[in-house]
Amino acid sequence: MDMTTKPVEAGFSYDRFQKIAPAALAALLAMGKAVDDSGLDKALTELVKIRVSQINGCAFCIQFHLDLAHRIGIDAVKLDLVAAWRDAGIYSARELAALGWAEQVTIQTDHHSDESAYAALHDQFTADEMLNLTVAIANINAWNRIAGALHFPPPAAQRR
């Protein structure tokens, strides 16, 4: 066999990730718990995680966070329209600032944040909240890059 090509083992999954890289999993989960423990609104962070996962095309994370969002009672219309949040007319100023910041941090085409996105965030959030929101965005981007790149199958959708 040519040493430059290796057969691909059976697909990756969340369960396989747990077995192969438990320390990496623990670090990602700890990062998420730190944000949850900060007191930042869980509904807000779930909207952000869904939007970032849409941008990154991570089916596993989209389904996981949609299920969680439904369980914690986020309005279904907000979930349905999060991909078009700018034009939906249903999000609070705080949600708009968070979603704008999430896109800015995720896309970062020019390697620094847009001043208008930062200003909108600053108008709606305390410094501690800004930091914790940015950690939440960084964390879901890490998850997207693992689960999306390795094509984790989405979890079975929860009954709503």
pLDDT one-digit tens code per residue, 86-119: 999 999 999 999 999 999 999 987 666 678 999 9
User: What one-letter code names the amino acid at 81?
Assistant: L
Cα–Cα distance for residue pair 95/18, rounded to 1 Å = 32
Q: Does pLDDT of 7 surpass 50? A: no
pLDDT at 112: 66
Cα–Cα distance for residue pair 36/154, rounded to 1 Å = 23
Q: Does pLDDT of 53 surpass 90? A: yes
In this predicted model, what pLDDT tens digit does every residue of 20-36 receive, in sequence order? 999 999 999 999 999 99
Residues in CB range of 156: below 8 A, 6 or more apart: none
What string of H, E and C letters represents the secondary structure of 70-115?
HHCCCCHHHHHHHHHHHHHCCCCHHHHHHHHHHHHHHHCCCCCCCH
pTM of the predicted protein model? 0.89
Of residues 10 and 61, more confidence is placed in 61
User: Taking all residues of the chain, what is their mean pLDDT, rounded to a whole number?
Assistant: 91
Domains and CATH numbers, the chain: 21-148 (1.20.1290.10)
